Amino acid sequence: TNSYHGYDFYQLFSGNNVLNVYKRQGQYELLRSFAPEGALTGMWFGAYHSQRYEAPQRYFPWLMLMHGMNSCWYFSVYSDTSDGNTWGAVTPDLTPSFYLKWALEEIAEIKSGTGMLLLNCERLHDGIAVHYSPASLHASSLDHTMSFVPDAHHSFITLIEDAGFQYEFVAP
């Protein structure tokens, strides 16, 4: 996220009940912090070129679950390129792609009990707040001598998590 995209995630998430993000610079943590209670939340993953392998297909459903999301958003359902390569969730005969099958195995495991227990757990909060400021983001986009705010946020929250703590983003 930067000034060119113009998102204010606090305002965007606070006013909606169906929310999804990409795995970019902590967007999923902003979603976790700002989504209204009971919202349908998830993250895009799936048939992107870098994700058409077993490890990402099995990783993303669990990543979403561990960050408080309650749904998976798969891109793209169907796509047939001019060279005959299909990269969507389903093939031209509507059977699941081999990489969607890996994701569905993990989703089935999540839905079988383990994930349902985690979805109903209360997330720990260690009293740590990270300030979210769209104004600071815009300033860092304009003045390249400053640290880029999304990168700084991502580095800081990684440090907090690696130290074994939980946190929430707070907005002005």
Q: What is the pLDDT of residue 80?
A: 61
Distance CA 90, CA 99 (A): 10
Three-state SS annotation for 75-141: ECCCCECCCCCECCCECCCCCECHHHHHHHHHHHHHHHHHHHHHHCCCCCCCCEEEECCHHHHHHHH
Distance CA 136, CA 25 (A): 15
User: For residue range 85-123, what is the model confidence (pLDDT) as tens digits?
Assistant: 567 788 777 888 888 899 999 999 999 987 888 888 888
Assign 17 a pLDDT band (cuts: 50, 70, 90).
very high
In a 13 Å sphere around the CA of 30, the CA atoms on its Cβ side amount to: 26
Query: Of 1, 27, 23, which Cα lies nearest the Cα of 13?
Result: 27
pTM of the model: 0.83
Contact (CB, 8 A) for 149 and 140: yes
